[in-house]
Chain A
Amino acid sequence: MPFVQSELGMVLEGTERELVAACQAGDRDAFRALFELHKDRVYSIALRFTGEPADAMDIAQDSFLKLFSGIRQFRGHSSLETFIYRLVVNSCLDRKRKDRRLLPLVDEWAATLRDRGASPCEELLRSERRAHVQTAIAKLAPGLRMVIVLRYTEGLAYDRIAEVLGCSPGTVASRLNRAHKTLERRLAPWAREQGGHYV
C-alpha cells in the first residue's frame, strides 16, 4: 500500500506498524513518510539541546540515517516513537561538545541591525531574552539539559522520559528539580533586572 503524503507532509494512510513493515521491506515512500512524521520532533530536540542549527542538522541527519539503517532490527518491544527518541538522544549525547560562540548576543544584534525589515529595538530585547535562557540551558550538564529538552520541547511526562533515558521516574524528577534550581539561580538576577521590559 503506498503512503500518500499531502503537501503539508501529513501521512494520510498507513498505521505505524504498516509503515515500519514497509520500511523494513525497503519501500522508499515509507521511508519518506516516516521522515515526514518525525522530522520536526528529531530536529527540535537536536536544536534545543545544542542551540546551534548546523549542529542540529548534523544530529538529525545522523539520527535518521541510523533509523533507516536500523529499522530492520526494530522488533516493536517499545513504540517507534520511543525508538526514535532514543536514537536522537544518543546522537545528542554522543556528539562532542563544541565550543560555544563567545559573543552570541552581539552576533544576533549585528544580524538584526543589518536586517532592514526588523525593528532593532524589539529584536534586541527579544534576542537578549532568548540568548540569556539559551546560555543558561547550554551550561547545564548534558544529562540535565536532555531532561529539560524532553520535558519542555516534547512535553513528555516523567515516566515517558524515564523510558526514553532508561532510568527511573524518580531519577527524572530529581534531575528536573536540579535543572530547575540551577536555571532559577542563573536567570533570577537577570529576570529581576529586566523588571517589566519584556517584549
Chain B
Amino acid sequence: MSEWLERELSRHLASTRAPEGLWDRLQRPLEPRRPAAPAWVRWPIAALLTLAASAGMLWLAGKPQGPELYPAVPSVRASEPPALPAADWPLHCTLPARSSAFQLAAFPVRKPPGYVLAAVSPQPDTAGCHQCHSPVLN
C-alpha cells in the first residue's frame, strides 16, 4: 500500500472525542411511539399532502425564469474555470487559467435582495489562494 494512502487514512480516520451531550442523550427516556393514526385520519391527510405537492409543482413550473436559475448554493468544480469570457463573470479578480481545486458558489443576500458570486482557487505556485467575489447581483 502507498505511503500517502496510509498517511491519509491515519489522519482522517483518527479517533475523536465524543460530544458532551452524549451522556445527556442516554439519560433521556426514549419517547414512546405514538399509536398509529386510524385509517380514516390518514387518508384525508394523504390526500391533502398530495394536493399541496401538486400545487407546489404547478407553481414551480409556472414560475418565471431569471435569478432562480442559480440555486441557493450552486457549485462548479472543475480543473479549469468555466470556459466563459472573463467579462461575463462579475467578479473582482481574474481567475487563474488553471487550478487544481476551483470552486464557485452563490450566496443569497437578504438586504439588498440578491446574491453574491464567490470563487476560491489555490494558487499553483504559492501556498495561497485566489479569492474574489462579485457585488450583490439581482
Contact = CB atoms under 8 A, between A and B. Distances in A.
Point out which of B9, B13, B19, B127 has the most chain A C-beta atoms below 10 A from its C-beta.
Answer: B13
Given A32-B23, A121-B122, A193-B100, A184 B5 contact: yes
B65 interface: no
B79 interface: yes
B2 A60 contact: no
B13 A149 contact: yes
A193 B107 contact: no
Interface string A3-23: 000000000000000000000
Interface string A64-76: 1100100000000
B15 A44 contact: yes
Contacts, number: 117
B79 A152 contact: no
Given A43-B22, A121-B128, A184 B120 contact: no
Contact of A35 (B9, B23, B77): B23
Contacts of B127: 197, 199
Nearest to A47: B16
Interface string A42-81: 1110011000010001001100110010000000000000
A121 B30 CA distance: 43
B100 A197 contact: yes
Nearest to A58: B25
Contacts of A164: none
B122 to A, nearest CB: 5
B26 A65 contact: yes
Contact of A53 (B19, B79, B103, B122): B19
A183 B22 contact: no
Interface of A: 32, 35, 39-44, 47-48, 53, 57, 60-61, 64-65, 68, 103, 105-107, 109-110, 113, 120-121, 124-125, 128-130, 133-134, 137, 148-149, 152-154, 180, 183-184, 187-188, 191, 193-195, 197, 199
Given A44-B15, A65-B26, A194-B100, 10 more contacts: A35-B23, A39-B23, A43-B19, A57-B19, A60-B18, A61-B25, A103-B75, A107-B73, A120-B129, A152-B13
Interface of B: 1-2, 4-5, 8-10, 12-19, 21-23, 25-26, 30, 73, 75, 77, 79, 100-101, 103, 105, 107, 118, 120, 122, 124, 127-129, 131
